[in-house]
Structure 1
Amino acid sequence: MTENPGTPVPSSSDAPVPAAPRGPGHRPAWLNRGIGIAAVVVALVLAYLIASIALPVMWAHTIGTQVQSNAGSAIGLGIFYGFVFAFLPVVMGWQARYKGMKRWLRISILVVAVLLAVPNLLTLGILNGTNNAAHDAQRILSVEATWFSSWSVWFMVVGVLAGVGAILAVPLWRRRGQRIRAYKVAEKAQRKAAEAAYKAAAQQTREAEKAATKAARNAERGKQP
């Protein structure tokens, strides 16, 4: 059988290339992703367990060192930590709501807000903790910084309320400023209009006086023989 000269002969480059076989050690992407997520979760759980054991006692000793068994210092320090580190996280976290903000910047703001709340979170963790580390920290605070915890908790509430009040007050303050600027612009326009009207009236008065003077002179000239 002879070949038809008009029929194209398929070349080796047009033939489909078979996919390379996967090796026995190759894992699918979803499995790699799942392993990564599981590793992150395990790391976070371990970090939480270590922090729940070490940080309460460390924070209690830090406060005790700063207070040095002085009741006045304990109250002042409780007010400072409670208010400042409740007010700042609320105000900082609120900044992440703006539209058009890049995701990395929004996440960075939220991370900073959480970090600013760490002192109060540690204090609340000590007061509400049930493990041995929390109980040890409670005893340290009760001996070395007697009034710190109670005043800190009270001013956490005050700090949160102050932060919310500041967030609500900013738009009101801006609108008040806009109204004041609009009032000043309108007042300036009215003043310019009044000045223009006064100048126009003065110009008309001068022109009328000139016309009256000219008419009087012409009348006197007409009376002369």
Structure 2
Amino acid sequence: MSAKPTGVAQAAGPDWRKRTLLGAGALAALVVAYFVLAATIARWWSQRVGSAVDGHLATGLLLGLLFGFACTLLPLMLAWIALRRRRSWKATAGWLAVALLLALPNLWTLSVVAGGGGAAHAGQRVMDVQAPWFRGATLAGAIAAVVAFGAFLYLDRRRRTRPARRAA
């Protein structure tokens, strides 16, 4: 029989050993995933864009503007929605996760442009030949989206404060 007294609840604290092992395993998996993705994503994305643009300047310009604008404005709007009101941390994390997913094409293009590895250099060469103007147009679209989001925030703030000014 057990020597535990009956009717006495023991305070069960967190199992730190288990949490530490799980955390270390998750960190190791993230490091491995980073190195695998860093070696493949830039090359893969440049090939996808290159096959879509197929060397046409106008297509590279239009697709770049579209990706840059949409994949910047939509994540900014979703992040604004997520952080604007008080929500549970799970709901906020969900909104921010969707915003991050929508921003991935811009982040992948950034990995090609700013990456220093072999995959990024290969991606730059692919985009130079098969997707001309895409990288610059993506930057222009992203800048236009940030300006549009700033204008939206300004107009939203002005709309909210206008009734207060009329009452005064």
Structure-1 residue corresponding to 2:44: 58
Q: Shift in Å at residue 17 of structure 1?
A: 3.3
Aligned counterparts, 1:93-172, within 5 A: 93-172=79-158
Q: Aligned equivalents of 1:57 and 1:148: distance in 2?
A: 15
How far the C-alpha of 1:165 sits from its partner, in A, is 2.1
Q: What is the rounded CA distance, in whole Å, between the counterparts of 1:98 and 1:124 in structure 2?
A: 28
Q: 2 CA distance for matches of 1:139 and 1:98? A: 41
TM-score for the superposition, normalised by structure 1: 0.64
Rounded Cα–Cα distance in structure 2 between residues aligned with 1:80 and 1:99: 29
Cα deviation 1:84-111 (Å, max 9, x = unaligned) = 1111111110112234312111000010
Report 1 or 2 for greater relative contact order, CA contacts < 8 Å, sequence distance ≥ 6.
2
In structure 2, C-alpha distance between the alignment counterparts of 1:169 and 1:50, rounded to whole Å = 44
Unaligned runs of 5+ in 1: 1-15, 20-27, 184-225
TM-score by length of 2: 0.85
Distance, in Å, in 1 between the alignment partners of 2:133 and 2:103 is 20
TM superposition outliers: structure 1 runs of 4+ over 4 Å:
none
Alpha-carbon RMSD: 2.2
Alignment coverage as a number of residue pairs: 157
Say which one has the larger Rg. 1
Give % identity: 29
Asked if the contact 1:88/1:163 (under 8 Å) is kept, the reply is: no
Note the C-alpha offset of 1:76: 0.6
Match of 1:49 in 2: 35
Aligned-partner SS, 2:116: coil
SS in 2 for 1:117: helix
